Amino acid sequence: MQPVGGTVTLLDPGSSPRVSLRLHPVKGNTYDVTMLLNLQMAATVSGNSFPNLALPALTMTMRAKVSNVTTSGTTVDLSFRSLAGVHAFLSNAPALEQALTSAEGLRARLSLNDAGIVTAVGFASTDSALLQSLTQFGQQLAGLSIPLPDEPVGKGARWTTTTPALQMTLSGVTLHQRITYIVEDVAGNQVRLQILSEAEVPDQISTFPDLPAGASLHLHGSTVKGGGVALDDLRQPFPLTMDQANSGTLVMDPEGLVGFGRMIATMSTDAKITSSKV
């Protein structure tokens, strides 16, 4: 199992009445989960502009079963049912593309505590090369759930979550992500949230997969921001719906790459997650 983790910090408990938000999934319950990702990008290289690029949507469907519930947390078994659009997104990450292209029927296991924090991700495979390729994907699976604060909260409550350094699947770029959740309403087991996200991309040298041997890109520090909404249900491990859009600009200077000057890429993403009880 791959450790994941994360930190939740309450900023404002909100107005009274306040309630403790804790997941209490039911063992044996099964859900269909769909993830949809759209990406658009515009770029300039050495001052020359390239047409806007809109990749086909990446769509993934999974069956999630709550296989165990204890006082220490919940275990969820995932089976991947379909995956579309993977080539457009991962053509420059061939190992991961091959792994996910053949992922239909692949099984994974998530462990999460009652605060919604994913503590471990594992894949049911004995192929060490495949497991290494899926490490980044495991980090992204951890984002299926919404982390909750320990303290009771009410309408208007705000908390932030920070995660360990993440590596972007498409480029190998390392970033640090902080997400702020704001409670819009609590009705029984359902919590409606506003989401504000901020990903800090530190100054770094990156060896993108498609670069020639010895070449690299100096990625200047930047921030990717966005937001969205979610409807969480405390009776299940993943939200009923979550819709989040982000955008930002990356500035890169090539090193050891003849004939190329500064590259500026402006990207926008729209990610949607839905889950429904079977």
| Domain definitions of the chain by residue range | 7-277
Rounded to whole angstroms, how far apart are CA atoms 54 and 35? 18
Question: Over the stretch 93-112, which tens digit does the pLDDT of each residue have?
Answer: 454 455 555 556 778 899 99
* Tens digits of residue pLDDT in 113-134: 999 999 888 887 666 666 665 6
For the chain, give the number of residues.
278
Q: Which CATH class is domain 7-277?
A: mainly beta
- CA distances (Å), origin 40, targets 175, 249, 252: 19, 12, 18
Predicted confidence (pLDDT) at residue 49 exceeds the cutoff of 70: yes
Beta bridge mates, 127: none
CA distances from 18 to 21, 183, 185, 235 (A): 9, 11, 11, 18
pTM summary value: 0.85
